[in-house]
Amino acid sequence: MAPKNVIMETTPSEDMLTGSSEVEPVITAETHAQKRPPMKIVWKNVVLFAMLHLAAVYSLVLIPQAHLYTLLWSAFMYVFAALGITAGAHRLWAHRSYKARMPVRILLAIMDSTAFQNSIFEWSRDHRCHHKYSETDADPHNAKRGFFFSHMGWLLVKKHPDVIAKGKQLEMADLKADPVVRVQEKLYVPSVLLFCFIVPSMVPWCFWGESLFVSFYLAAILRYCLGLNATWLVNSAAHMWGMRPYDKRINPAENMMVALSAVGEGFHNYHHTFPQDYATSEFGWKINLTTFFIDTMAYLGQAYDRRKIPADVIKARKLRTGEGSP
Ligand code: ST9
Ligand code: ZN
Ligand code: ZN
């Protein structure tokens, strides 16, 4: 017997680890909105994120007076931190789409702390919720709640109780068993202070005599703020705008602007259809620096067991559920 307000129409959802299709009953967005508890704003986060964004805007005026090397260093730090999220927290730890040897795992954990987007464990748990309960109240950044909520609003309010309840049921034993994940969790605050703020600011000052003020604003603040927004665009823009060649029934879409700024994570219709694919795209290195990075690590013998969806499976899926399919 179907519970009240539950539509027995089905939506496909993919398990991020097995890739198996499940069929779950869905509740309408209207019903969800009605039974949602009132949002509780976390004012500390509102103030901190407002300050970060104001400081990032101010840092733009410092660009003309910065040393060329400082600008190049800031760009390098952007990519360094971004890969910590994409190749590390996302494709390695949240999805287990490939395996990496200890030196690469340590490097990726440092890169992840440079990005300061919560510990690997917390990031991966939220991301597993996002895939398993996509666009329901158990999805931490449920895109059905609008652009702002899925972009950054979800970090400014208490989580919906469904996120925590469903998240506690997720399988997380693999991450608990990884010593690199455990140590990063334990040392998270000092590692963020060191790798997100101190090292990026000190290098230009020590090596080419940049003012500490300028290097802090450009290589730490502006770089961090841009990295956050590029990441958040995957949850907002890439859940709204773009083509859906693999599964037209879901909102995640192929968004090339997001792929560019998120070093390869904008092929979001593909990624939600085939979450176990280490490349998160059908097209290899095209607008996908992260896949190039993982392949380079594999070439050096430091990454292995890269999981890839066969071309004939992709083609069959496109014909069955992609845009243009019956
Ligand atoms: C940031 C993260 O920006 C961005 C992630 C984006 C993900 C994007 C994914 C897209 C695909 C990949 C593309 C990558 C592209 C990268 C491009 C790079 C250029 N399950 O959290 P609390 C428990 S972070 C199970 O306080 P509240 C929790 O353990 C920015 N349990 O919830 C705790 O339990 P206990 C920097 C869960 O109070 C309890 O619940 N960080 C789950 O509602 C309370 O946890 C910040 O700004 C779960 N899923 O507060 C920090 N979740 O008590 C922001 C929680 O037993 N966060 N639990 O310990 C916060 O301040 C708070 O979390 C909050 C919610 C205010 C948002
Ligand atoms: Zn994912
Ligand atoms: Zn998504």
**Minimal-distance CA residue to ligand 1 atom 36:** 117
Pairing of strands 6-14, 21-27: antiparallel
CA pair distance 187, 86, nearest whole angstrom: 21
pLDDT confidence tier of residue 17, bands split at 50, 70 and 90: very low
Pairing of strands 21-27, 99-100: unpaired
DSSP 218: I
- Write down the pLDDT at residue 182: 98
Q: Which residue has the tokens 């963020």?
A: 192
Q: Is the CB of 87 inside a 6 Å radius of any atom of ligand 1?
A: no
Pairing of strands 303-304, 99-100: antiparallel
- φ/ψ (deg, to 5) at 99: -120, 155
Reported as a single tens digit per residue, the pLDDT across 239-266 is 999 999 999 999 999 999 999 999 999 9
| 52 has a pLDDT exceeding 60 | yes
| 324 has a pLDDT exceeding 90 | no
What integer is the mean pLDDT of 182-195? 98
Q: Which residue among 114, 128, 137, 164 has the greatest number of ligand 1 atoms within 8 angstroms of its CB, and so is best to mutate? A: 164
**Minimal-distance CA residue to ligand 1 atom 63:** 155
CA pair distance 209, 70, nearest whole angstrom: 10
What integer is the mean pLDDT of 176-203? 98
pLDDT confidence tier of residue 100, bands split at 50, 70 and 90: very high
Under a CB-based contact definition with an 8 Å cutoff, are residues 217 and 71 in contact?
Answer: no
Measured at the alpha carbon of residue 264, what is the angle toward residues 219 and 118, in degrees to the nearest 5?
55
Q: Which residues of 270-292 are buried (b: 16+ CB within 10 A; e: fewer)?
A: bbbbbbbbbbbbbeeeebbbbbb
Under a CB-based contact definition with an 8 Å cutoff, are residues 177 and 168 in contact?
Answer: no
261 CA closest ligand 1 atom index: 19
User: From the CA of 30, how far away is ligand 3's center (Å)?
Assistant: 21
| 318 has a pLDDT exceeding 50 | yes
The DSSP element (H or E) to which 22 belongs, if any, is strand 21-27
Q: Can you tell me whether residue 76 is helix, strand or coil?
A: helix
Under a CB-based contact definition with an 8 Å cutoff, are residues 179 and 186 in contact?
Answer: no
Q: Is the CB of 259 inside a 6 Å radius of any atom of ligand 1?
A: no
Domain parsing of the chain, residue ranges: 6-321
- Which residues make beta-bridge pairs with 279? none
CA pair distance 272, 229, nearest whole angstrom: 20
pTM: 0.92
The answer, yes or no, to whether ipTM is higher than 0.90 is yes
DSSP 183-204: HHHHTHHHHHIIIIIIHHHHHH
- Write down the pLDDT at residue 20: 38
Q: Is the CB of 262 inside a 6 Å radius of any atom of ligand 1?
A: yes
Q: Which ligand is nearest to the CA of 75?
A: 1
What integer is the mean pLDDT of 138-158? 98
Under a CB-based contact definition with an 8 Å cutoff, are residues 63 and 71 in contact?
Answer: yes
Mean pLDDT of the chain: 91
Q: Is the CB of 321 inside a 6 Å radius of any atom of ligand 1?
A: no
- Write down the pLDDT at residue 75: 98
Reported as a single tens digit per residue, the pLDDT across 24-42 is 444 455 555 557 888 999 9
Q: Which residues contact 12 (CB under 8 A, 6 or more apart)?
A: 21, 22, 23, 247, 249, 250, 321
pLDDT confidence tier of residue 19, bands split at 50, 70 and 90: very low
Q: Is the CB of 196 inside a 6 Å radius of any atom of ligand 1?
A: no
Reported as a single tens digit per residue, the pLDDT across 197-238 is 999 999 999 999 999 999 999 999 999 999 999 999 999 999
Q: Is the CB of 303 inside a 6 Å radius of any atom of ligand 1?
A: no
CA pair distance 104, 272, nearest whole angstrom: 26
85 CA closest ligand 1 atom index: 16
| 280 has a pLDDT exceeding 90 | yes
**Minimal-distance CA residue to ligand 1 atom 34:** 164
Mean pLDDT check: name the lowest of 11-20, 123-132, 210-219. 11-20
Q: What percent of the chain has pLDDT over 70?
A: 90
What integer is the mean pLDDT of 36-64? 96
User: From the CA of 143, how far away is ligand 3's center (Å)?
Assistant: 9
Q: Is the CB of 139 inside a 6 Å radius of any atom of ligand 1?
A: no
Q: Is the CB of 275 inside a 6 Å radius of any atom of ligand 1?
A: no
pLDDT confidence tier of residue 23, bands split at 50, 70 and 90: very low
- Write down the pLDDT at residue 325: 83
| 269 has a pLDDT exceeding 50 | yes
Q: Is the CB of 164 inside a 6 Å radius of any atom of ligand 1?
A: yes
What integer is the mean pLDDT of 83-92? 98
Q: Is the CB of 227 inside a 6 Å radius of any atom of ligand 1?
A: yes
Q: Which ligand is nearest to the CA of 239?
A: 3
Q: Which residue among 79, 128, 192, 231 has the greatest number of ligand 1 atoms within 8 angstroms of its CB, and so is best to mutate? A: 231
**Minimal-distance CA residue to ligand 1 atom 26:** 158
